[in-house]
Amino acid sequence: MKKSGILIGAMGWLLWWPAVAQDTLTIREGAEITHQAELVVYELEDLLNVITNTDIGSKMTQDLIRNSYSSSKNQIFYDEKVIIESDDDPDATLKNFKDAEVPKYLNTLDLYYEKSSEPSVSLTSVKTSPVKKSDYYYVRTYFERNFENKHKQKNKGYATVPRVADVRVDNVDGKWQARIIGISFFGPEEDLNTPENNVELIAGDDDVLGKSVASLERNRSVDADMIKQEIANLFAEEMRKLKEVGSAEETEKKNEYEEAIKMGDQAYAEKRYQAAKDAYEAAIVIYPYKYHPKVRLNEIARLTERSNQYEDFVRKAKHARSIRKYEDAITFYQKALELQPDQRKLNDEIMAISSTIREVSLPKNEMMAGDYDAAMKSCNKLIRTHSDHPERFPELFLMRGICYAKEDKTKQALKDFTDAISYDPQYLDAYRERGQLYAKSGELAQAVADYDVIVSFLPDDPRYLSERANLKRRMGSVDGAIDDYQKVIALAPSSQVYYEKAMLHYQQEAYRKALASLENAIHLDAHDGKMYFQRGLTQVRLQNYNEAQQDFTLALEKGLGTEEQKAIRQESEQLYREGLAALDQKAYDTALEILRNAAVLDPTNVTVWFKLGEVYELQRRYEDAIGAYTQIIEQEETNWMAWYKRGVSQLKLRSYDRAVNDLLRVRQLQVHYFPALVGLGDVYAAQRDFGKAIDEYEKAIATIRDRQKKDKIDDYQSRLADIYVRIGDAKIELADYKEAMEKFEEATKLDKKAGAPLFYRGKVYYITGDYDKALKDLSEAITLKYDNPEVRFVRALTYQANNDYPNAIKDLGVVMESSDTAEYPEAFMYRAMVYRRKTNNLQDALHDLETFQHRVVTPGPLFHTTLGLVQLDLNNPENAKSQFARARAAADNYGPAWLGEACLVAREAKTDEALALCEKAFNAGQVTVPMIDEAESTYLADLKKSKKYRKLRRAYEAKLKK
């Protein structure tokens, strides 16, 4: 211990008197705190010398570093977060340094400081500040740091640097405990003796001269300087006593330490390493950071390891000799001699083994060369030569047995293997050869029995455990095989062993266990396609189809055989068949789920995507249907049926431009496929380009007629009838009712059982005001099974126009209850019309119109006209006028909108203006007789008395009939 430093620190207090007293301690307590603050700096010095010693191993160094800030007897830092202004760089200065936490600081020093076998670090000129207090007591301890060696990386020496350690001191179980809470550079302008946070020292009852100080404090006339001097004298006396006591205690500790070192050194010299180790460890308990005992402990560890290595090599050599691994035995003996050259007896063992090698080398070499007859002859000769002691050469029987086995002489081979075992019951190679021959002969139980013996001798050899596992698997002992593979994994985990174990779990249908093993296998070898393939199959069994698809994709990327690729398709096709079965049961949701999984497993299976698209269409999930058909197109760009089906789905979604593109592509790929022409016509009709629609329909008819001539068959009648109906419907939209009726008549001739022509003909009768004929055709269409919401709506409107409101409401009810309502959003608009005309239930009418508006992208002119009339009924003329204007904007010169405006001005008694608007309505067309009748029954009641109006109506009705 460096007593001079402690004395200097004590003398620093002789001139101190607290300017601001923030707390009080007795003089003895202050001296004890100061003393501990000094001691912890010297412990730091010892620690730095141990870390920078060449003879201290890396593990011990790391333990010392960790212990320096952890809860242990060796702790000197408060915790690992303590910040040190790092001085391990020779260029670090007061103005140029980096902060580091304790572990980083000490590890950097360990890494970059040039180490030596002698101490190279000294902390000198130790001085302390007065005891201070914030949330705890602390002392600032000054020292000068000296690094004698260089920085390894910079090859540069260190200057002496003034430093200061902030030392926190706590009372723990009645003893003062010092811990460093920070180390920093100490600047020339800094002063240890500043008064801030200083603690006032007072005399305690048991202090030296305590009564004198007490009397001085009671006598107010005594000069303060005398009290100050008395306190300083008392503090100096306490420090002296601590040093004397500390010196005595230190002398006792030093004697104990030196005695322990002496005992350790003596035992070390006598190679009594355990006794030496015990003595040095006792010394470390006394002085944790002294480097000599640590160096010796490191050396003892190395020597002990060397001795253990020697014993291990000798043991391995004996074992190798016992199992006839002669070359290995010699190698191990030679390694043992390298460690302890004085063990000459090992040379005798090597010579004896060499002699045996020479004896058996001839038949062994002949056998290795494949000359089994020659090898057997040599074995026979040697066996006769050593017939008096065959147990000395069991390998001759083993080699002869191997040769017999190579020549398929199983009986003789088994006998020789058994003889070899009888001469050496621990001859594991003989057990292995016999076990393999038993396995080849199908005697798996006997094979496993031989491997049981091998494993009993070598329980930690994964090779034999793995071979036994394979035998158990072959004989059907799956659980036993799994147990063996698990033991192999514990000893030497490999991708292949995990894979084999997984296959057994898969065989047992323990799919989650199989999955766990496969994941381990892939973790060890991420490049084997079969691993991913098998994991994919396992995911299929667990119904994790997305994960299975990902694994199959990876398997294909990494390389997969034809059979495995077929297996993936088979899994997909099996799910496809299950999906079809679910469809037969009309379990559409189940079918969809199964088919989706089939597509996930094999995204190249076009058949699955087609069926998925069709099911999506059945459920009116057209976006999903488009996705399915797109999958096909991306794989087979010329698959015209996929283009066609996608185009039809685009039409259903009112994506008209996309529908046209898809259907035009069909025409390029399959020019005679008339459904594509019909589809194009439907798209143009939906876009209200009825001229183009009719052109496509007529092209479709021409295509069918041409095919009829070529095929000479008459199976297209119903298709033709359907197209004529479409043309007729387009003619209705063009207000060409005469042409429309002709097309419906043609359709009826082609297919007398078709209800569609009757429906559309009835619709024309409704539009032209011939309600009785309309009802007859519409009802007959329903009888012929042509029954849908539109038919019911038109008949409902016809009933309403014919003043048969009960039947009208009944048909509307059928429509509104239909599952197809979503396909016919116009239903809400029609019901709103009935609400308005029959029941005057304007709020319900308004609600239905709002519902219709939310369900369509573009409501259309009829909607705006109807909403305008409802607003007019609600006495909102401005809103009504706005809606009529929007109707005319949606369809240029839209007749019903003009008629609505006529109602609006007629309501205001503007007869001439109303008459002019009616004329515009009749000229524009698209106004039905029921519309006119309804208007005349309300807002045009006075106008219909006008001769000019009646003339206009008669002319318009005549035009409709034409």
In the chain, the amino acid numbered 227 is I
Strands 132-133 and 200-202, by their bridges, are: unpaired
Between CA 722 and CA 751 the distance in angstroms is: 9
Backbone angles phi, psi at 803, to 5 degrees: 65, 25
Q: What is the domain partition of the chain in residue ranges?
A: 24-207, 222-289, 312-540, 561-653
Backbone angles phi, psi at 100, to 5 degrees: -145, 145
Between CA 726 and CA 747 the distance in angstroms is: 10
CATH code for the domain defined by 561-653: 1.25.40.10
DSSP code per residue over 497-534: HHHHHHHHHHHTT-HHHHHHHHHHHHHH-TT-HHHHHH
Tokens read off for 295: 């160096």
Say how many C-beta atoms besides its own lie within 10 A of residue 698's C-beta: 15
The continuous run of DSSP H or E covering 132 comes out as: strand 132-133
Strands 121-128 and 132-133, by their bridges, are: unpaired
User: What is the gyration radius of the CA atoms in the chain, in angstroms?
Assistant: 53
Please list, residue by residue across 107-131, b when 16 or more beta carbons sit within 10 angstroms of its beta carbon and e when fewer do: bebbeebbbeeeebbbbebbbbbbb
Tokens read off for 124: 């000198």
Best CA proximity match to 105, nearest among 190, 187, 180, 186: 180
CATH topology of domain 312-540: 1.25.40
Q: Which residue has the tokens 């694994």?
A: 551
Tokens read off for 843: 């709020």
Strands 161-172 and 175-185, by their bridges, are: antiparallel
| Contact between 72 and 93 (Cβ < 8 Å) | no
In the chain, the amino acid numbered 436 is Q
CA-CA distances (angstroms) from residue 839 to 800, 834, 873, 879?
11, 7, 12, 22
Between CA 767 and CA 736 the distance in angstroms is: 11
CATH code for the domain defined by 24-207: 3.10.450.50
SS3 143: strand
SS3 25: strand
Sign of the dihedral through C-alpha 60, 65, 69, 73: positive
Q: What does DSSP assign to residue 31? A: H
Length of the chain equals 962
Best CA proximity match to 924, nearest among 946, 902, 950, 906: 902
Strands 83-85 and 137-147, by their bridges, are: unpaired
Say how many C-beta atoms besides its own lie within 10 A of residue 78's C-beta: 19
Distance of CA 248 to the CA centre of its chain: 66
Strands 175-185 and 99-101, by their bridges, are: unpaired
Tokens read off for 681: 């016509």
Best CA proximity match to 907, nearest among 866, 943, 945: 943
> Which residue positions in the chain have pLDDT lower than 70?
1-22, 205-224, 243-250, 712-715, 819-824, 838-839, 962
Between CA 848 and CA 245 the distance in angstroms is: 104
In the chain, the amino acid numbered 274 is Q
Between CA 933 and CA 951 the distance in angstroms is: 15
DSSP code per residue over 205-253: TTSTTHHHHHHHHH-TTS-HHHHHHHHHHHHHHHHHHHHHHHHHHHHHH
SS3 542: coil
Q: What does DSSP assign to residue 456? A: H
In the chain, the amino acid numbered 792 is R
Between CA 17 and CA 230 the distance in angstroms is: 11
Q: What does DSSP assign to residue 823? A: G
Q: Tell me whether the CATH fold assigned to 312-540 matches the one assigned to 561-653.
A: yes
The predicted structure's pLDDT at residue 107: 93
Tokens read off for 506: 């898969």
Strand partners, 53: 116
Between CA 264 and CA 273 the distance in angstroms is: 9
| Contact between 41 and 111 (Cβ < 8 Å) | no
SS3 per-residue string spanning 760-790: HHHHHHHHHCCHHHHHHHHHHHHHCCCCCHH
Q: Directed axis angle between helix 291-322 and helix 326-339, to 10°?
A: 160
SS3 180: strand
Between CA 570 and CA 566 the distance in angstroms is: 6
Distance of CA 617 to the CA centre of its chain: 35
Distance of CA 615 to the CA centre of its chain: 33
- Global pTM value: 0.48
Between CA 901 and CA 913 the distance in angstroms is: 10
Tokens read off for 466: 């793995």
CA-CA distances (angstroms) from residue 903 to 233, 892, 898, 919, 925?
120, 19, 9, 13, 17
Task: Give the CA angle between residues 358, 313, 59 to the nearest 5°.
Answer: 155
The predicted structure's pLDDT at residue 1: 35
Sign of the dihedral through C-alpha 740, 742, 747, 752: positive
Tokens read off for 394: 């069991």
Distance of CA 819 to the CA centre of its chain: 42
Give the number of C-alpha atoms closer than 13 A to the C-alpha of residue 716, restricted to the C-beta side.
Answer: 20
Helices (H), 458-602: 462-474, 478-491, 495-507, 511-524, 529-541, 545-558, 562-584, 588-601
Tokens read off for 86: 């790092």
Between CA 393 and CA 704 the distance in angstroms is: 96
Burial (0-12, 13-18, 19+ Cβ within 10 Å), 94: middle
DSSP code per residue over 732-769: HHTT-HHHHHHHHHHHHHH-TT-SHHHHHHHHHHHHHT
CA-CA distances (angstroms) from residue 529 to 363, 401, 507?
44, 40, 20
Between CA 175 and CA 170 the distance in angstroms is: 8
